[in-house]
Structure 1
Amino acid sequence: MKRLSIALFAVAALGGAHAALVTKTVSYRQGDTELKGYLAYDDSVTNGSKAPGILVFPEWWGLNDFTKGRAEALAKLGYVAFAADMYGDGQITTDPAKAKELMTSVAGKPIMAERVQAAFDQLVKTGLVDESKLASIGFCFGGACSQVLAYSGAPLKGIVSFHGALVPASPDAAKKNKAKFLILQGALDPLVPEEARAAFIKSLNDGKFDYQFLSYSGAVHAFMNPDADKARAAGLAGVGYNPQVAARAWAQMQLFFKEIFG
């Protein structure tokens, strides 16, 4: 009976030591701008037991609950996830006009490359990541952010772009890039027209990228985000949540990570 009691105590102790999700807001800087990112990881990850690191770049709405939720979902899969602040001071909005204003203040400008690099540097600074196993994902505007980071030559194993804006790779970007690409688009996305897709794919072919480009039937823009239907109801055309496609795309991302991280 004594041995049984000891055994039961040991089992209970092990059960009580289960891993827990750790989340925190992390302040960092790009130039004079204070940025507020969101870090998520399993508490089994320590400086002595590192995990692959994933950057998460948000839609044009900013670092909102949807983006934080994706970081948490990645942490539950065993990754250290850092969701980036692209606008400063953690600014978010639900107003399309304000979102456009915020995005255009950054998109296509030198500050965009500087801010994606700042997010990358902050992920590495956590000391929790295996620096040989780094990747980036992004949604909408965040998809473009992931592409820009890869084009800079950042040591990424891969990037995943969900219904992202598509940024053609220049010859110089192709030379610098180290990442495999997984591009997941809605076949009916009116915000990324066919000519934009064709120009993007041509640039990847010309640059001899290792890429996968998946087009999901029936899906429009923002198919990953459950709040997209609210945005459409409020008058934002061309967006809509598609739970079946969202599940397929997330599963495809997981297969991709298994490939690139080994």
Structure 2
Amino acid sequence: MTRLTAFASAAAITLALTSHQAVAEMKTEIVDYQIGDETFSGFMAWDDSVQGKRPGILLVHEWWGHNDFVRDQAKKLARAGYTAFALDMYGKGKLAEHPDTAKQFMQEATSNFDQIKNRFLAAKELLEEHETVDGDQIAAQGYCFGGAVVLNMARSGADLDGVVSYHGSLSSPMKAEQGKVNARIQVYTGGADKMVPAEQVAGLVEEMQQAGVDLTLVTFPDVLHSFTNPGADEYAEQFGLPVGYDEEAAMRSWQGTLDFYNQIFDQ
């Protein structure tokens, strides 16, 4: 009995030390940065146990703003071996709690493309300069509003290896041009997404085919908008929005994203 208790205690100590070590390896940092006269607040995450430089991934938030959801996604990427920077498109402190405010913030940010582009590229430069990042290996992923942003950055010819859009708007006044898009593109969308109807999906495929872009598009049948966000069901109930979390679609799109990054970064 005594020996068994001692063994259990030793195992508990080992587990505690292992858990502490795992926590210690995950590094996160809130990064305040200036663009012109405005302050923005991003979130950097990386695993300190990974040796050497590694690819960097930019994350662009939903229309609600830079919140815990996008930070959690950055941590997941860090655990997968990347350095992730969840950027801020709205400005420090601009976090919406109501769709009307979210719409206002989004419209302000997208009032002209140069503003969006400058905010994206400023964050990209911060990520590239991080001590853990190989600046020649950068991708971007975005959610809803953020999905539209990363697609437009690809259309604009931004120096990115890959772009992933989750339930993002697929139509844009800006169109991909032959030879201009550098990034390979993945898109995940819901078949029942009222905000991204079938015409948008078909339009994106035609656009990217005509421009000769490497596009992979996955549609999940009967899945609503914001399917990656566990908080989507609460938004639906509180505000009557046509959104909803789908665990399987979230899991499959995440695994597909990791496989995509393995391919484009030859890992």
Query: For residues 196 and 171 of structure 1, what CA distance do their matches in structure 2 show?
Result: 13
| 3-state SS of paired residue (2:45) | strand
| 3-state SS of paired residue (1:70) | helix
Unaligned runs of 5+ in 1: 1-11
Query: For residues 177 and 122 of structure 2, what CA distance do their matches in structure 1 show?
Result: 19
Unaligned runs of 5+ in 2: 1-13
Query: For residues 171 and 60 of structure 1, what CA distance do their matches in structure 2 show?
Result: 22
Task: Return the match for 2:41 from 36, 43, 48.
Answer: 36
Q: Which whole-Å deviations, capped at 9, do the CAs of 1:160-211 have from their partners, x for residues lacking one?
A: 1000111448566543321000000001100012222222222111111001
Mean Cα deviation higher: 172-181 or 232-241: 172-181
CA contact (8 A) 1:40 1:72 kept: yes
- Kindly report which structure 2 residues correspond to 1:103-122, keeping only aligned pairs within 5 A, or say none: 103-107=106-110, 109=112, 110-122=114-126
Mean Cα deviation higher: 76-85 or 28-37: 28-37
CA contact (8 A) 1:151 1:169 kept: no
Query: For residues 32 and 200 of structure 1, what CA distance do their matches in structure 2 show?
Result: 36
The aligned residue for residue 20 of structure 1 is 25
- Kindly report which structure 2 residues correspond to 1:1-262, keeping only aligned pairs within 5 A, or say none: 20-45=25-50, 49-107=52-110, 109=112, 110-168=114-172, 170=174, 173-262=177-266
What percentage of aligned pairs have identical amino acids?
36
CA contact (8 A) 1:168 1:199 kept: no
Q: Which whole-Å deviations, capped at 9, do the CAs of 1:122-172 have from their partners, x for residues lacking one?
A: 111223211222110110001011112222322211011000111448566
Query: For residues 225 and 172 of structure 1, what CA distance do their matches in structure 2 show?
Result: 28
Q: TM-score, normalised on structure 2?
A: 0.87
CA contact (8 A) 1:62 1:90 kept: no
C-alpha spacing 1:90/1:55, structure 2 compared with 1 (3 Å): farther
- Structure 1 residue 50 displacement after superposition: 0.7
CA contact (8 A) 2:129 2:135 kept: no
The aligned residue for residue 3 of structure 1 is none
Query: For residues 174 and 40 of structure 1, what CA distance do their matches in structure 2 show?
Result: 35
The AA in structure 1 aligned to 2:208 is: L
C-alpha spacing 1:196/1:226, structure 2 compared with 1 (3 Å): same
| 3-state SS of paired residue (1:91) | coil
What is the aligned length?
Answer: 248
Query: For residues 164 and 126 of structure 2, what CA distance do their matches in structure 1 show?
Result: 19
Q: Which whole-Å deviations, capped at 9, do the CAs of 1:6-29 have from their partners, x for residues lacking one?
A: xxxxxx9x9787661000110112
Query: For residues 200 and 172 of structure 1, what CA distance do their matches in structure 2 show?
Result: 9
Q: TM-score, normalised on structure 1?
A: 0.88
The AA in structure 1 aligned to 2:126 is: Q
CA contact (8 A) 2:176 2:207 kept: no
Q: Which whole-Å deviations, capped at 9, do the CAs of 1:77-129 have from their partners, x for residues lacking one?
A: 00000001000014212211100100011125221111111111111122321
Taking only aligned residues, the RMSD between alpha carbons, in angstroms, comes to: 2.0
CA contact (8 A) 2:176 2:211 kept: no
CA contact (8 A) 2:152 2:172 kept: no
The aligned residue for residue 7 of structure 1 is none
C-alpha spacing 1:121/1:236, structure 2 compared with 1 (3 Å): farther
